[in-house]
Amino acid sequence: MSALGTPAEADEQRVLRLEGVRKSFGDRPVLSGIDLTVDAHEVIALIGASGSGKSTLLRTINLLEQVDDGRILLTGTDITDPRVDADAVRARIGIVFQHYNLFPHLSVLDNVTLALRHVHRTKKADADRRGLDLLAQVGLADFARSYPDRLSGGQQQRAAIVRALASDPEVLLLDEITSALDPELVGEVLELVRELGASGTTILMATHEMAFARDVATHVVFLDAGVIREQGTPEQIFGSPRDPRTRAFLDRVTRES
């Protein structure tokens, strides 16, 4: 799967930089001064309890939520500048949510190629060729002309990932993509993410799969109540966390697993 998800002519510079990002909903702060960098080809795992701000962080990067303060740079461009074309920014970023969000009235192939055809203005024949190639690489070629309800949850999530990859995004955002899956389907989705990371795709993922974060991520970020409490290599975070809140979180999820 060497071609799957490889960023377009991968940029060796920093892909994302968040500086002092703040976001509140009403009087409730959700992100409280987030500083984070994502370099090309990194796989960064965001870990933390539900409500810690992981999903909101990803949504601010994709401009689905407007930041209250701070800025986000995508390959050096301030995408939080109000003059920025949000749709043009989103065309450079792939995002996959907990629920697959496939259009039920479109075939799997049409779901995968929708942005290619309507956002990137790729000719239908070229878009279909790209879509079929990607679907074949993830074992879904036989379902290309089927509707999403013919697929299992794991297959639908793999199709959603392929859709996000079809336009060669500069960074792939994954928001708890296994949370809605039956336990027996989680492995096939995580294996695809593992392959993407190995192929050089730049990934920022919120996950509750600690073993996967430890084995696959190049960098782990622990988010707690909208604050980055600790970040480092998987070996450091899981082997010898320094912050008491990190230790308490990992002890709890270990007991629950």
Q: Pick from 93, 113, 90, 97: which is nearest to 170 by CA?
A: 93
pLDDT digits (tens, 9 = 90+) for 49-79: 999 999 999 999 999 999 999 999 999 999 9
pLDDT at 26 over 90: yes
CATH number for the domain harbouring residue 55? 3.40.50.300
Q: Is residue 25 part of a domain?
A: yes
Beta strand spans in the chain (E): 14-25, 28-39, 43-47, 69-74, 77-78, 93-96, 171-175, 203-206, 219-224, 227-232
Q: Is residue 24 part of a domain?
A: yes
Mean pLDDT, the chain, rounded, equals: 91
pLDDT at 12 over 70: no
Q: Is residue 149 part of a domain?
A: no
Q: Is residue 19 part of a domain?
A: yes
Give 175: exposed, middle or buried? Use CB within 10 Å, 0-12, 13-18, 19+: buried
Q: Is residue 173 part of a domain?
A: yes
Cα separation, 84 vs 80, whole angstroms: 7
pLDDT at 221 over 60: yes
* Domain count along the chain: 1
Q: Is residue 142 part of a domain?
A: no
Q: Is residue 130 part of a domain?
A: no
Indicate whether this model's pTM tops 0.75: yes
Q: Is residue 223 part of a domain?
A: yes
Range(s) of the domain holding residue 210? 14-103+169-256
pLDDT at 164 over 60: yes
Q: What is the predicted pLDDT for the residue at 183?
A: 85
pLDDT at 6 over 80: no
